[in-house]
Amino acid sequence: MILSKKEYMFIKTRWIVMVIIMIGLAIMTVSIKDILINLINTPAVQEQLKNIPKGLQSQIQKISDFSYYSYSQWFDKTFIEIAAVLAVIFSFSAFSKEIEDRTLYILHGRSTRFEMFSAKIFWGIVACVISILAGGLVYLTVADILKYNLPISQAMIWTGRTIFGTIFLYSIGIFFSLILKDQVRAILADLAVFVGIYVLGIFAQTRFLGIFDYMGSIDVLNGSGIGIIQIAILLILSCLLLGFTYFKFKNMDI
């Protein structure tokens, strides 16, 4: 790929920082499990828990189970939040910065528009996938070292779901980066859409649109698989969005 070296160089620093953050948070989340449980089990906290609704009480009591702890504190929380941040960080500047800085002239002609587009998308997706894999695998490894019982299949299903969900979020980010031609507006649009997707996941009628719900679903604890249909839908939507973005890029004036 002709622009591979350039795009890799431009994404490298952000990528390293995000992997370090992901790994650091994974290690921290596993490591503080016992501290959190001990805190919950203190008489003072137990006394306080009696005053909260029964449903919430039972959820808090379930945290001593490591699978549930992993779901509630990592895979349905920090992990997918960082995944959304990854999608924004690796996408918002992909086109908008080059358009703002007028540096697309350097690339155009020296490479085709498809080469320009594909090199950016390739490295963005690779950076998202590897950062997420790092978070999922490091969490699993640290849990194993500390002798916590987390089935590998559960961790891998959550990680896999998060990867496909993040690719879709990244596609949204790339779309805004090109269309809005402005880094700040691209970030704001990403955040607005991601918040919208999160809100859709709250209501029963629109829950099927809540990608974050799919990524960190509690169903995995009950033996649910990775969800081939959902993955296929996410991949098709990602391809359509990236295809449309490429069509716009191919026909735009530089």
Partner 1 sequence: MEKAVEIHELTKIYDDKIKALDGISFVIPTGSIFAILGLNGAGKTTTLKSILGLIKPTSGKVTTLGDEPFPDGVKDASFVPEEKELYQWITVPKMIDIFSSFAPKFSVDKFKKIADKFELTMDRKIGELSQGNRTKLYISLAFSQDVSLYVLDEPTWGLDPVMRKHVLDTIKAFAINGKTIVYSSHILSEVEEVCDRMIILKSGKIVYDGTVDDLKDKTGNDLSGAFLNLMEDGEKK
Which residues sit at the interface with partner 1, rule CB under 8 A?
2-3, 5-6, 9-10, 101-103, 105-114, 250-254
Q: Which is nearer to partner 1, 113 or 185 (CB)?
A: 113
Question: Are the CB atoms for 184 and 100 separated by under 8 Å?
Answer: no
- Read off the tokens for 7: 């795009």
CB of 10 to partner 1, least distance (A): 8
CB of 182 to partner 1, least distance (A): 16
Q: Which is nearer to partner 1, 17 or 218 (CB)?
A: 17
CB of 247 to partner 1, least distance (A): 11
Q: Which is nearer to partner 1, 114 or 203 (CB)?
A: 114
Q: Which is nearer to partner 1, 61 or 111 (CB)?
A: 111
Question: Of 178, 184, 170, 185, which Cα lies nearest the Cα of 113?
Answer: 178
Q: Which is nearer to partner 1, 9 or 152 (CB)?
A: 9
CB of 119 to partner 1, least distance (A): 9
CB of 228 to partner 1, least distance (A): 37
Phi and psi torsions of 111, nearest 5°: -150, 155
CB of 248 to partner 1, least distance (A): 11
Q: Which is nearer to partner 1, 133 or 252 (CB)?
A: 252
